[in-house]
Chains A and B, each alone.
Chain A
Amino acid sequence: MAEAANPKFLRPVVAPEVDPGQAITFGADRPLLLDAGRELSPVTIAYMTYGELNAQKSNAVLICHALTLDQFAASQHPVTGKPGWWDTLIGPGKPIDTNRFFVICANVVGGCMGTTGPASIDPTTGKPYGLSFPVVTIKDMVRAQAMLLDALGIEQLLCVLGGSMGGMQVLQWAASYPERVLSAIPIATAANHSAQNIAFHEVGRQAIMADPDWKGGAYQLEGTQPSKGLAVARMAAHITYLSEAALQRKFGRNLQNRNAISFGFGPDFQIESYLRHQGMTFVDRFDANSYLYITRAMDYFDLAEDYGGVLAEAFRGTKTRFCIVSFTSDWLFPTVENKHIAHALNAAAANVSFVEIDTDRGHDAFLLDEPEMFATVRGFINSVAASHGVK
């Protein structure tokens, strides 16, 4: 039985014809050891690279992506056709200058753009993992990235940077592999996921699991897709990425293609139409089970936990240079949580910068055109590059 050819077993999102970029598969001899106490094997890590690794292998920069993003940080997305999600930051002559730096971005374990995740085939059953996929953590994602770098022969990273969940990975990298990380830029992030953030994630997960097409997570086998649930999850989450001021400025109470309210439940308001669009387009590029797993990984993140509850201990003796960035209107990962990291780094006598950027665009600001963020990243990485002799 050629199960791989059975359409029911195809990835619901990433069809085989979609090129996930480069990929490395680690076989039975190199299982990924998970925090949950299980081993994941085989494990494929899909990634993209930009620029060239220099002879000394001293110019590698690792980008860690956020919850629903992927390895296409600086190149066109194969499903949506949109430019890379950090196209404004990474590229020739840009702050992360690919004429100088070798940039790597890998899809996280549990993801759905080519890296092993719940939609992948479990070799022991020949069927998609679904909910039998082990729960993964931020630390597991970082371990997988470290395996990738080992395979690429990259011992040390000039810089690791990322926003939101990417920032969590950056912090975990600095704590787990301090000798491999020369500098770190955690952006709009936190050392643990707050009660409010767990709450929003739970709403999203419940929306997915309440969709009858979710089928207890086995929708691939059943030939269905919990699109409605996933879309609602995305709509709720998307609100948290913006700010009240930005929503008001952009949409206010404007009506959508009509002159008066309809006395019904159609999308009367522009904001409703906008959210519906966000939800609908999201399901074309993201797997519902991946959404469950990755949100869970964020919920479980508490960096201090491994260090007796004292965050500074996670960074004791670190030689890594840090640059923390937050945004004034970000209420998902507010300045106070970013500052908490800065204080812990001070307590560890680490070399740390902390920049707060004034914007009304909320959490999503880290993905947008924010000149002050670009100036910060450029100044910081250039200074790090100079002190390590990277031209």
Chain B
Amino acid sequence: MSNGLRPDLAAIAEVIPQGARVLDIGCGDGALLEHLAATKNVDGRGLELSQHNVNACVARGLSVVQGDADTDLGDYPAQIFDVAILSQTIQATRSPKTVLAALLRIGKLTAVSFPNFGHWRIRLSLLANGRMPQTRTLGYTWHETPNIHLCTIADFVALTEEVGGVVQSALALRKDGHTQAMQVHAWGPNLLAEGAIFFLRSKNAPST
């Protein structure tokens, strides 16, 4: 994984098939899309909130639209993407439940990565200090953070079930950037993983 990608993106990139049609929601500077175009010949699209990032992506030849995950996913037809990706973004959306349901609708496979608020450092920080935790991965003060809907791995598993999703596989993201497969209902990963990557399918979607 020496491709310069953020660890969660590298892990997501690994599972994407050659030539897949991919939507990267919150694609940022387009690093993942560029990597996928170069290595997997994907038909890649991006949705990004920041106009500055969007313009930079398009100038580099990527297909990116300015838009908001909370409001703009409704446009896309059902099951139109082989993979819909939401990396490190769900915790910043206004309605994670709507967004996750929309992802399951438009993507045959949905990849979601997020910081795990159940990590022991965060739990300990709150217990010890009585203040909203500020950690290496979540460095904002409570009043400045864009992460308005943080969750734990257990919370995410519950939400997935609530919106009709099935976990196909899940990876725990360790501090050193390494990933390892995890049992989503076990207590260990929720305590020890700094972040998580989930691969989901919709219960209602025809199996492929």
Contacts and interface: CB of A to CB of B under 8 A. Distances in A.
Chains A and B belong together in one complex: yes
Interface string A371-382: 010011011101
A363 interface: no
Given A323-B58, A372-B55, A380-B58, A351 B77 contact: no
B43 interface: yes
A10 B62 CA distance: 50
Contact of B58 (A343, A344, A353, A386): A353
Given A347-B75, A349-B76, A376 B65 contact: no
Contact of B55 (A348, A376, A382): A376
A344 B75 CA distance: 7
A324 to B, nearest CB: 8
Interface of B: 43, 45, 51, 54-55, 57-67, 72, 75-77, 80
A376 B58 contact: yes
Contact of B65 (A349, A354, A378): A354
Interface string A335-352: 000010011101111011
A143 interface: no
A255 interface: no
A337 B62 CA distance: 22
Nearest to B45: A351
B63 A353 contact: yes
Interface residues of A, number: 27
Nearest to A354: B65
Given A346-B75, A347-B75, A347-B76, A354 B54 contact: yes
Contacts, number: 68
Contacts of B54: 353-356
Nearest 9 A/B pairs, CB to CB: A383-B61, A379-B59, A354-B65, A346-B75, A375-B59, A349-B80, A353-B58, A347-B75, A343-B75
Contacts of B65: 342, 346, 352-354
Contacts of A379: 58-61
Nearest to A351: B63
Contacts of B60: 379, 383
Contacts of B63: 321, 351-353
Contacts of B55: 355-357, 372, 375-376
A239 B65 CA distance: 30
Interface string A304-325: 0000000000000000010100
Of A349, A357, A386, most B-chain CB atoms within 10 Å: A349
A339 B54 CA distance: 14
Given A355-B66, A372-B55, A382-B61, 14 more contacts: A342-B67, A343-B72, A347-B75, A347-B77, A348-B77, A349-B77, A353-B57, A353-B58, A354-B65, A354-B67, A356-B55, A380-B61, A383-B61, A383-B62
Nearest to A380: B58
A346 B74 CA distance: 9
Interface of A: 321, 323, 339, 342-344, 346-349, 351-358, 372, 375-376, 378-380, 382-383, 386
Contacts of B45: 351-352
A375 B63 CA distance: 14
Contact of B43 (A339, A347, A351): A351
Among B43, B63, B64, B72, chain A packs the most CB atoms within 10 A around the CB of B63
Nearest to A312: B75
Nearest to A342: B65
Given A372-B55, A375-B55, A376-B55, A353 B75 contact: no
7 contacts: A347-B75, A349-B76, A351-B63, A352-B63, A354-B64, A354-B66, A358-B51
Contacts of A342: 65, 67
A235 B55 CA distance: 33
Contacts of B76: 346-347, 349
Q: Report which residue of B45, B61, B77, B80 has the largest number of chain A beta carbons within 10 angstroms of its beta carbon.
A: B61
Interface centre among A346, A349, A372, A383 (most CB of B within 10 A): A346
A346 B80 CA distance: 10
B153 to A, nearest CB: 31
A342 B55 CA distance: 15
B59 A378 contact: yes
A274 B118 CA distance: 65
Nearest to B76: A346
Contacts of A356: 51, 54-55, 66
Nearest to A324: B65
A376 B75 contact: no
A353 B72 contact: no
A355 B54 CA distance: 7
A351 to B, nearest CB: 5
B138 to A, nearest CB: 31
Nearest to A373: B55
A343 B72 CA distance: 8
A342 B63 CA distance: 12
A353 B45 CA distance: 8
Residue of A353, A382, A383 with highest tally of chain B CB at under 10 A: A353
A97 to B, nearest CB: 15
A71 B1 CA distance: 52
A323 B66 CA distance: 12
Contacts of B59: 372, 375-376, 378-380
B96 to A, nearest CB: 21
